[in-house]
Amino acid sequence: MTRIRPRLRGRELGLLVIVALALVAGSLSLGAAGRLRAAQLEDGTTVELLALADSTQLLVFLGALFVAHLALVLAGRRTDQILLPTVGLLGGISLLLMERLPQDLAGGLGGLAQTQLVWLVLCIAVLTTLAVAVRNDGWLRRYKYTWAAAGVALLLLVFVFGREEESGARLTLVIGPISGQPTELLKVMLVIFLAGYLSENRSLLVEESTRLGPIRLPPLPYLAPMVAMWAIALGVVIVQRDLGAALLFFLVFLLLLYVSTGRFSFVALGLGAFAVGAVVLYRLFGHVQQRVDVWLDPWTDPLGAGYQVIQALHAFARGGLIGTGLGNGLPTVGGQPPIPALHTDFPFAALGEELGLVGILGILGLYLVLIARGFRIALAAEDEFRAILAAGLSLVISVQAFIIAGGNLKLIPLTGITLPFISYGGSSLLANAVIVGLLIALSERKLEPLPPIRPPGRLQRLLSRGAA
């Protein structure tokens, strides 16, 4: 066994220091705003303004980040040094936001922020473990159908053990004390499956084609299992009424098809299928119809269906260019924030109000960094599977961020999906941690020799022996 030699990661440390400074400044700003408001209520007693909002929570989070850095240094792998600080900054912003919201929005371990902190620390632990331990991707590429089947099985479990939400969506799987959203894990499994399948059949998909008049279609037999897999996932998701996940899966599927084949005709075909599907769904399902109608004009029902969207738009408007400042936005209505599901579906609106246009552009910039790094890792990968996997993993995060940010801004119909690394919720954080952990592991140069070529069949062995 080779000795593991620690390797300094200067760039990562430097970026983490900036992250720590930014989060301390944010926490100071949040704390000062809260204390000033309290002081104004008690008319004008002088207070100590300069103090962190919640020093222990912030310190625990920053501590976890630096421990993760130390673990990566000790592991001594030549891996990416930018992803961990980026995730750290997003997670830190999430923590500041949760500290600032009413703590009784979600139960759990003594309040919203504390529960989120526990999940964030777990998320960093998962990410670091994967980044340190995954040195071989054979277990991912070999069992692609198993991964896909496990994902679909997970979804089917929701029918049996699922809990119905108010909106009619069955998203949460509850087995005894454990509950989670299986679609979050499914997205990781789907990307692994697509990477495995596309890398194996890429040249066939590219070179051979079924002609249908002037349109070049992909060779049908090779595309069939993939389309079937996708249809199953999509069908289950539609029955589950989780439109956000359906949109995410479909977009990632199309993007990966384009990334691996470079054929725009496939994408055009997919978009056509999407348009047809969208019209059919709009006609058939009441909940789809409602979402689209609210998107087109929320003011027809401002206190009912359009309420959330209108409140989100007001929040962005109040935020303006640089925002109201952390802790100063969101005047509560009757002790509750005006937007329901603020911590899961609308964190982008809350951040838009408190940090303004400048702030949310910065946050979108952080997602941009994730995708830029993911594509860089894909370009440097040694074979197709790793390249498509890295591209797919980073696409999942960024497409998800786009879908929910666009929904919050009324750019596209709103779908209930989480903002990666910022929304409250364990399944989402853990699934995204798995994604970034795998990305970091994949970024190592000389990851490990590629797996041995699969042995040829008996007939081929006989032929080759005869020839040699």
Partner 1 sequence: MDPAVLAIWVLRLLFLALLYLFLWAVARALLRDLRAAAREPATELGRLVVVATPSGDPPPGSAFRLDAVTSIGRDVNNSIVLEDDFVSSSHAALTYRGRAWYVEDLGSTNGTFVNGARIDELSPVAFGDEIQIGQVRLRLERART
Residues within the interface to partner 1 (CB under 8 A): 11, 14-15, 18-19, 21-22, 25-26, 28-29, 32-33, 36, 39, 49-50, 81-82, 85-86, 89, 199-200, 202-204, 206-207, 261-262, 322-323, 325-326, 355, 358-359, 362-363, 365-366, 369, 372-373, 376, 379-385, 387, 450, 453-456, 460-461, 463-464, 467-468
Least distance to partner 1, CB of residue 206, Å:
5
300 vs 460, which CB is nearer to partner 1? 460
The phi and psi torsions of 239 (rounded to 5 degrees) equal -60, -35
Please state the closest distance from residue 413 (CB atom) to partner 1, in A.
Answer: 29
Query: At residue 174, what are phi and psi to the nearest 5 degrees?
Result: -120, 115
Nearer to partner 1, 33 or 248 (CB): 33
d(CA 463, CA 468): 9
Q: 312 vs 390, which CB is nearer to partner 1? A: 390
What is the smallest separation between the CB atom of 13 and partner 1, expressed in angstroms?
A: 12
- The smaller minimum CB distance to partner 1, of residues 363 and 404, is found at 363
CA distance 105 to 336: 8
Provide the CA 230 distance to its chain's centre, in angstroms.
19
> Cβ closer to partner 1: 94 or 261?
261
Coarse DSSP helix, strand, coil percentages of the chain, rounded to the nearest 5 percent: 70, 5, 30
By C-beta, is 15 or 194 nearer to partner 1?
15
* Minimal distance, residue 338 CB to partner 1, in Å: 22
Answer for the pair 25, 58: CB distance below 8 angstroms, yes or no.
no
- Report the nearest approach of partner 1 to the CB of residue 25 (Å): 4
**Beta carbon of residue 4, minimum distance to partner 1 (angstroms, whole number):** 22
What does the DSSP assignment read for 364-423?
Answer: HHHHHHHHHHHHHHHHH-SSHHHHHHHHHHHHHHHHHHHHHHHHHTTSS-----PPTTTS
**CA-wise closest residue to 133 among 4, 226, 324:** 4
**Helices assigned H by DSSP within 215-242:** 220-240
